[in-house]
Structure 1
């Protein structure tokens, strides 16, 4: 666990992969170049958000398939795929394919629940079954069963010249153990009980706690996850916060970054909505300032790795500056050691 004097084990970042509706190819290519650059900087992982009917990556698995052929070392994750819009059997086929193409580097992060704004498009998604779809954690269980090789078909054998398998093909051994799940207290407990990895984010729910301090709540969730994991010493936890180092930023960039954080700060002061969602304040400052804040953060103190979230609305050159400072300034301030680097600007 990263306390002062203990090296941070793994450093990664998370991006939405935004694009212009009139030129989506350029935005997707920019994301691929950022992933390539991240590997050159020595990052351990890069994660893609999932956005449906928005101007961000809607098919992270497809993008990571492309990234797998342009990188050789860095772990490739999703944070997260909402399973309410997926068929677990078909998704298992896609995930296993990309994992094999990447040489075993895929880290699928998933979530469940009724999809956001479901009523707006449910007839297009599930024309005949939208009122009876099961959006519970059963979808996660189906996915990990499929990835783990549990039979999905009653038939195995040869028909004519075609061979059939009982299990999802291709099968990628070890992929099931790299599935991540995120959520509040009950989800943390459930993830631990089912030996999934636990993916935290810059949002928590206030269920089961009297605290209104984001860091304390995140720490409680991580503690609950480990307490219910059969092998807590092997349990992986990744912390995600919006962290914006300014070491090499221009004065104009620093101003925009601070304005961005200030505009989002009011939502961090009180729980939001019926589930009591609480947002973490964005952390903007020099790497030394950020490191000091992280070392005193109850969530960071309990994590084994991090995937810092990039802001949604910045420019490509901003992302280059931010991830460069993350790797070359903040990482060393957290005693993190990068993998072999071969720098080339994206």
Structure 2
């Protein structure tokens, strides 16, 4: 419960043993009505070694940026999927199966990268079966549910279903808020491993939501002032590079949110105000680049002759995309001012 809820206020005024369960929990405990009937149509699964290869393919492209799945977590879930058919009445089993199918869909997409025949893009078959297993969004939320919704939203974006992607990532972010992922939790309540996983799922969903919102021209769902959470921290025994990449990408996504809010709002700005916004954001982007750790830079001095890794390239592409989105309106504004007055339309299209 947030600090504006009646339960929060009542507990602060009278912090007794009374839990106010009548307000905090649903009034009707039977949750079977929440589940929609699922007609199991499980697709043929690839051989186990091919499944691992598909995971590595999707991990190389998106798994190094959005930290939803670790290698060990996927291996455990993959073995679970191959050991049994999911129980349609078990939400967690359906979500696990759904997530594995989405990983297969991305793996095929990034492995084949060619649309052949009339069956849809690579991986589309797995994606359709995954959607059939997806629980209703009004069922109980979980971190696994957030991961699955985020994967599904990103796949929707890749097939140019932008409105569907925007809706799904919005649900994922709101579900994360209802679970309190946007706020730091003390280690007395959960262990450090789960605490870090919560951070990474939040910032991954946050970054994806910013990306999809600005790409589709829609408002962002949550303000940075409402987030009280540390950035990713390296796990014990883990390469620092994993947390460093997600942190750099998250900081860029924060700036991307500012771009959408300050430049692309429906109410257009005057030339002076627009120029001031552009200069401020360009300064933020410049500062971000100056602070970028060597591990995420292209061709650092100690690795000048090595090929850059994919996550570094993706981060740089995100950086230049932010520059493009920032500079584009002012360039269009200058062009419009220079056009002859008679050629200007009375209702100029927004950038």
| Pairwise TM-score range, normalised by the shorter structure | under 0.3
Which structure is higher in strand share?
A: 1
Q: Normalising to structure 1: TM-score of the pair? A: 0.26
Larger Rg: 2
Q: Which structure would you say has the larger RCO, counting Cα contacts within 8 Å and 6 or more residues apart?
A: 1
